[in-house]
Structure 1
Amino acid sequence: MTETANALTDAPANVPVKHEIYWRDTEPVTAGPALREDVHCDVAIIGGGYTGLWTAFYLKQADPSLEIHVLEAEYAGAGASGHNDGFMTPTIGHSLSALIHRFGTERAKLAYSMVGRSMLELRRFCRKYEVDAELEPTGYLQVASNRNQLRLLERDLDLIEQLGGQQSIELLGAADARERVDSPAIVGAFEVGGSLINPHKLARGLFRVVRDLGVHIHESTTVTAMRRAAGGHVLTTPYARVTAPKVLLATNAYQHQFAAMRRKVVPVWSYAAVTRPLTDRELAQVHWPDREGFVEAGNFIVFGRLTAENRLLFGGGRANYHYGRDMDESRHIDSPAATAALRGVLSRYFPQWRDIPFSHTYGGCVAITREMVPHVGSAGDGVFYAHGYCGNGISVTHTASKSLRDLILGRDSVYTNLLFVNGKERGFPPEPIAFLGSKVVTRALAVQDRYPHLVRAQIF
């Protein structure tokens, strides 16, 4: 018997692994009834995730007289909003260096300041409306596990300084970093503002708040067709139609199902693994006093955190694109290769916990744009859209929803002029070029992670 096993005789017995989203177990949901009668409204929103719900929230606050209907195919928060990994960060898109290179320092600085404001407002929202989203305002650590990643941390600190970031941010050496998270894998780190959260509970709490404001939210209501007609746009659902002069497409990774957005966004699969709850004795084996999450520097990031139940959650690694934008959970929610890789990450960071069994292993789709920044804007004729948060959507969706509010209301504001609003959006190529190109880009990004001094890789 191993030393670890001898020390942990109070650990619970192993249970079968679920290939299901862990967060859904923390608050079971029964989807509401489908829309059964035709309606006319001022704004129709397709998609009941963060983008759709926050936009409805801010529209209703701006003009309580607006009649707003949200149409959701499953239940509010069933998509990426409810199954992400719960890191509330200031990150926009994928890479700070790419953002500054593309848009310049001043526009990047403004966008980051608005997202930073959203992080504060999200905390206030949870307090004001008593949303129990298990929010822990711990921040998180950007960490390095080798010399190449240390150079990436040094680069990012230089960029943060360009943006006028906190002067107190410093690069911690291995000893100081391990005072924060005692992992032998960490050789350097710096702290980033942010929070850990239960994304599913946030989505469900937001749903209840928006519903109580008088927004009509129809779960179990799939939009099967959309056409222009007198009086606006007609949305067809299985049992009823919705007519509205203004429509918001807010389905993120599913956005490609709309013809106009077909090549603007692609879904890629990202995986996570969650352990059973750690015992007190197991928790005591690792010095982790503030419970902050950590993210490893690189293109294919890996990350770890504790949940409110003291489970370990690890995620990340290579993100796979499947031919034809395949999002079929029955085929892809379980990936033995991804699970094995995440077991390796757990063992590398916390060898004393390497044998703790996973209770949940699963994948979900992340929406990616070619520029690796979100797309928010107006498609004309009363149609608006937002998608492509690149795996960093908790805070950015909040900011983007203020942009959408102002676009829908015809306002010119700081939010309608952010770098991700009505930008020059490039599309992905058609199949099979998109699929083959994804393989090339994946390999290029992997090479860059190994040799970060090479020229920055570009998506397609």
Structure 2
Amino acid sequence: MDQLDVALADAEIAGYWTDRVDRPTPREPLAGADRADLVVVGGGFTGLWAAILAKQRRPDTDVLLLEAHRLGHGGSGQNGGFVSESLTHGLAHGAWLWPAEIGRLVELGRENLRAIEKFVRDEGIEADFRLCGKTSVATEPHEVGELSDEAELYREHGMTARFLGAGGVRAEVHSPTYRAGLRLPDAGGLVDPARLLWGLAEAAQRLGVRSHEGTAVRGLRRRGAEVRVATPQGTVRAGGVVLATNAFPAPLRSIRRYVLPIWDYALVTEPLSAQQWDSLGWRDRQGVTDSANRFHYYRPTPDGRILWGGYDAVYYFGGRTGSGLARHDAAHRQLARNFFRTFPQLEGLRFTHRWGGPIDSTTRSTPLFGCTRGIAYAVGYTGLGVAASRFGAQTALDLLWQRDTERTRLSMVRQQPMPFPPEPLRWPLVQFTRRALARADADRGRRGRWLRFLDRHGIGLGS
């Protein structure tokens, strides 16, 4: 076996964060027909925040949360654990889409992150929540200037940004591939996403939220002042519904054309020795991302491992989201190859977990918000939803309860992204775009005709 085969030989096909003996026991499925003032569909971050915020705003509201699998089955339990202050898939992206509102969007994002930090502290949720910022690195010459420009943009918006040359960034994290870096100490941080999710579920239960796992929602139908929520166990009569299905097919079919389930893959190493950590530096233990179109994200875990993910975004014909797609040998081998290229001093290290999961992407890489006939939704975080999901839940409740707020007046909320084309056109266009992104990375960042066309129309393919 070659080095990659050895490194991956014993890796379980399982998400690292939820593969724990102390994972909470499953909640019982819905027992039959029921009624609630508010039904939340989806047991990830958006759904749990919606349930919690609804009870905080209106304590007498009877809130029922329904999850088709286990809480955190989707992206909320399988992500990299990066918490970002950005609501717009990054500062530069938000400034490009909504230049007139970006200042307020930045502040709203900071307020949102501070509120999460306070809630975690007040509720005693032990989830290794650390606002340690992040570092972006350039691994190709053309990315160096882009990072320098990004540093200036962060400073314009009142955030600390330290641009580092090759020597400076390699002193922080030792990799021979780094050509420059951007240290952003105020830009979010890290969390154990599964423990955060389980802590939110316990907090919701203390507030009186009723939750059922193993309860899929098959359809929604408006009947008078109620929404009928169809499940295999029976119909739930709801005063209103919040959809938090994200990458998975929503029971409201009209929003499916806006959400593209893009699969992202990740690895986690065995624990590193003290000598191996010394060979890396990495004193702040912050998260790191590189600057390519096909970018990596990586971070230390609380028990001394490295989580390494990203690079390619994979779409399956028809938008499949089945759990069998979590195994992708070619993607995992490529990730392992890139890991050892970045950190050659860790040769011989092995991986214990490898997995994949769908990310809810939109054409503009920011969420879709809306409300129709008593059904509100916030979906499409495109990989930056760990923190932004709370803002999404707030906004969905505002729309459902017809509250005119600063959130509902934002262009990001009022304007819908362009829908994706239907199959069979969707799959070849996504593959064509993926190849165009790879070509741009190989050609010093030069975006070809197709990518420039998408840029002009505010369309992207992100993860």
Same fold (TM over 0.5): yes
Distance 1:205 1:245, change over 3 A: same
Secondary structure of the equivalent of 1:415? coil
Q: Which residue is 1:64 aligned to?
A: 59
Distance apart, 1:15 and its partner CA: 7.6
Q: Distance in 1 between matches of 2:65 and 2:363?
A: 28
Q: Tell me if structure 2 keeps the 8 A contact 1:367–1:388.
A: yes
1:320 matched to 2:298? The reply is: no
For residues 128-171 of structure 1, the C-alpha deviation after alignment (integer angstroms, 9 at most, x for no partner) is 11111122222110111121111221232233344x232x4131
Q: Tell me if structure 1 keeps the 8 A contact 2:220–2:229.
A: yes
Of the three residues 294, 308, 315, the one matched with 1:300 is 294
Q: Tell me if structure 2 keeps the 8 A contact 1:46–1:71.
A: yes
1:410 matched to 2:430? The reply is: no
Distance apart, 1:60 and its partner CA: 0.9
Residue pairs, 1:167-186, within 5 angstroms = 168-186=160-178
Of the three residues 331, 341, 348, the one matched with 1:355 is 348
Residue pairs, 1:356-435, within 5 angstroms = 356-378=349-371, 380-435=372-427
Q: Which residue is 1:160 aligned to?
A: 154
Distance apart, 1:283 and its partner CA: 2.0
For residues 214-265 of structure 1, the C-alpha deviation after alignment (integer angstroms, 9 at most, x for no partner) is 1111111111222122341111112222111211111000145531112110
Q: Tell me if structure 2 keeps the 8 A contact 1:255–1:387.
A: no
Of the three residues 66, 86, 91, the one matched with 1:91 is 86
Residue pairs, 1:133-282, within 5 angstroms = 133-162=127-156, 164-166=157-159, 168-192=160-184, 193-256=187-250, 258-282=252-276
For residues 301-344 of structure 1, the C-alpha deviation after alignment (integer angstroms, 9 at most, x for no partner) is 102111001111100011011000111221x2111211122112
Distance 1:365 1:93, change over 3 A: farther
Secondary structure of the equivalent of 2:413? coil
1:32 matched to 2:24? The reply is: no
Distance 1:322 1:15, change over 3 A: closer
Distance apart, 1:108 and its partner CA: 2.1
Distance apart, 1:14 and its partner CA: 9.5
Q: Distance in 2 between matches of 1:267 and 1:317?
A: 16
Q: Which residue is 2:431 aligned to?
A: 439
Secondary structure of the equivalent of 1:364? strand
- Number of equivalences: 444
Q: Distance in 1 between matches of 2:114 and 2:341?
A: 34
1:345 matched to 2:338? The reply is: yes
Distance apart, 1:94 and its partner CA: 4.1
Secondary structure of the equivalent of 2:183? strand
In structure 2, runs of 5+ residues without a counterpart are: 1-6
Q: Distance in 2 between matches of 1:37 and 1:354?
A: 55
Residues 89-98 or 358-367, more deviating: 89-98
1:130 matched to 2:130? The reply is: no
Q: Which residue is 2:460 aligned to?
A: 459
Q: Which residue is 2:281 aligned to?
A: 287
Q: Distance in 1 between matches of 2:221 and 2:8?
A: 53
Q: Tell me if structure 2 keeps the 8 A contact 1:343–1:354.
A: no
Distance 1:314 1:426, change over 3 A: same
In structure 2, give the amino acid aligned to 1:360.
Answer: H
Q: Distance in 1 between matches of 2:249 and 2:56?
A: 26
Q: Distance in 2 between matches of 1:29 and 1:98?
A: 38
Distance apart, 1:453 and its partner CA: 4.6
Residues 356-365 or 334-343, more deviating: 334-343
In structure 1, runs of 5+ residues without a counterpart are: 1-12
Q: Which residue is 2:104 aligned to?
A: 110
Q: Tell me if structure 2 keeps the 8 A contact 1:375–1:422.
A: no
Q: Distance in 1 between matches of 2:446 and 2:161?
A: 23
Secondary structure of the equivalent of 1:254? coil
Residues 433-442 or 277-286, more deviating: 277-286
Q: Distance in 2 between matches of 1:123 and 1:102?
A: 28
Distance 1:134 1:440, change over 3 A: same
TM-score (norm 1): 0.92
Q: Tell me if structure 2 keeps the 8 A contact 1:46–1:249.
A: yes
Q: Tell me if structure 2 keeps the 8 A contact 1:256–1:263.
A: no
Q: Percent identity?
A: 30
Q: Which residue is 2:4 aligned to?
A: none
In structure 1, give the amino acid aligned to 2:172.
Answer: R
Secondary structure of the equivalent of 1:22? coil
Q: Which residue is 2:11 aligned to?
A: 17
Secondary structure of the equivalent of 1:171? strand
Q: Distance in 2 between matches of 1:123 and 1:215?
A: 21
Q: Tell me if structure 1 keeps the 8 A contact 2:174–2:279.
A: no
Q: Tell me if structure 2 keeps the 8 A contact 1:196–1:293.
A: yes
Q: Which residue is 1:10 aligned to?
A: none
Q: Distance in 2 between matches of 1:413 and 1:320?
A: 37
Of the three residues 42, 46, 55, the one matched with 1:47 is 42
Distance 1:240 1:256, change over 3 A: closer
Q: Distance in 2 between matches of 1:92 and 1:440?
A: 28
Q: Distance in 2 between matches of 1:367 and 1:14?
A: 28
Q: Tell me if structure 1 keeps the 8 A contact 2:316–2:427.
A: yes
Q: Distance in 2 between matches of 1:156 and 1:247?
A: 40
Secondary structure of the equivalent of 2:13? coil
Q: Distance in 2 between matches of 1:421 and 1:65?
A: 28
Q: Distance in 1 between matches of 2:82 and 2:350?
A: 23
In structure 2, give the amino acid aligned to 1:364.
Answer: G
Q: Tell me if structure 2 keeps the 8 A contact 1:370–1:426.
A: yes
For residues 174-206 of structure 1, the C-alpha deviation after alignment (integer angstroms, 9 at most, x for no partner) is 222122212222221112221111111111110
Distance apart, 1:48 and its partner CA: 1.1
